[in-house]
Amino acid sequence: MKLQKPIFEGAATAIITPFRDDKVDFDALGALIEHQIASGINGIVVCGTTGESSTLTDEEHRETIKFTVDRVAGRVPVIAGTGSNDYAYAIDLSQYACEVGADALLHVTPYYNKASQAGLVKYFSKIADNVTKPVILYNVPSRTGCAIGIDAYKELAEHPRIVATKEACGDISFIVKLCRAVGDKMDIYSGNDDQIVPLMSVGAKGVISVLSNVAPAVTAEMTRACLEGDFKRGGELQLEYLDLINALFMTVNPIPVKVAMSMLGLCTDELRLPLCTMSDAENEKMRKTLEVYGGRIR
């Protein structure tokens, strides 16, 4: 059994990267971080998929990680998205994140290369061998075209620095089997907001969330209820906010969440191509959804 303290328990926000005039809006990012922490969130994940890491320049990527670490100032863990399909670049960026004080690293499965299971084990192990902070794997085959299997997970769970995974495969049956296979050696976080409570009921430690960009206090409360064994309350919140969760994924993430946050006055809805704004009909659907939730968004 791998004895370890979880990097976080509860809800960590996969925070957006706000833009203004095609530049990272650090003033807005700082305000978002303060709002997240004040709302009781348990961690900040910066430069992940929701943070549009694939269209950040290398300089922007590094600046955004450092800014977030400095602004958070140890109040909650900061998890830096430093994944790539080029292991040399992933190691270089990960080492930088470690140097500037990130608490952990998030490594997505290498996209486009379509690695074999043996290749995934070697890839993640090589990265973990060359960093000083714990690694969270990120399995999201719908975006990368590459999935981590149970046997590969078992091998990776033996590495002392590979301590957790963000599971966004969407297959609850698979994740239940994963909990049984590696649950004493690897922490599991839901990567899908519509599966927070089901996965926590079988041992997941929490969620890396898109929903919490918009409703951080609610997401934190949902996970806290589960951690305290109150799955009835957790389930009530999961169902109550399901329509909002679905609206936030009506098209490719992070397009809807940026639109929602703009409507709430938190930042602009500016995106970088190939992501682009939603249709008028989708915008109207988001507006009506936010109106329905009204004061319940917190």
Half-sphere exposure at residue 24, Cβ-oriented, CA atoms within 13 angstroms: 24
pLDDT score for 97: 98
User: Against a cut of 0.85, is the pTM above it?
Assistant: yes
Say how far apart CA 37 and CA 252 lie, in whole Å.
Answer: 26
Residue 137 and residue 127 in contact, taking contact as beta carbons nearer than 8 Å: no
Catalytic, out of 66, 166, 205, 258: 166
Domain at 10-230, CATH homologous superfamily: Aldolase class I (3.20.20.70)
Partners of 78 in the β-ladder: 44
pLDDT score for 141: 87
In tens digits, the chain (298 residues) has pLDDT values of: 555 789 999 999 999 999 999 999 999 999 999 999 999 999 999 999 999 999 999 999 999 999 999 999 999 999 999 999 999 999 999 999 999 999 999 999 999 888 999 999 999 999 999 999 999 999 998 888 889 999 999 999 999 999 999 999 989 999 999 999 998 899 999 999 999 999 999 999 999 999 999 999 999 999 999 999 999 999 999 999 999 999 999 999 999 999 999 999 999 999 999 999 999 999 999 999 999 998 667 7
Q: Is 23 a catalytic residue?
A: no
H-helix segments, the chain: 26-38, 58-72, 87-99, 117-129, 141-144, 150-156, 172-182, 196-200, 211-214, 216-227, 231-240, 242-247, 255-263, 280-293
C-alpha 228: how far from chain center: 22
Catalytic, out of 138, 153, 189, 241: 138
Q: What is the DSSP letter of 266?
A: S
Q: Is 123 a catalytic residue?
A: no
pLDDT score for 144: 85
Phi, psi of 266 (to 5 degrees): -90, -25
Domain ranges of the chain: 10-230
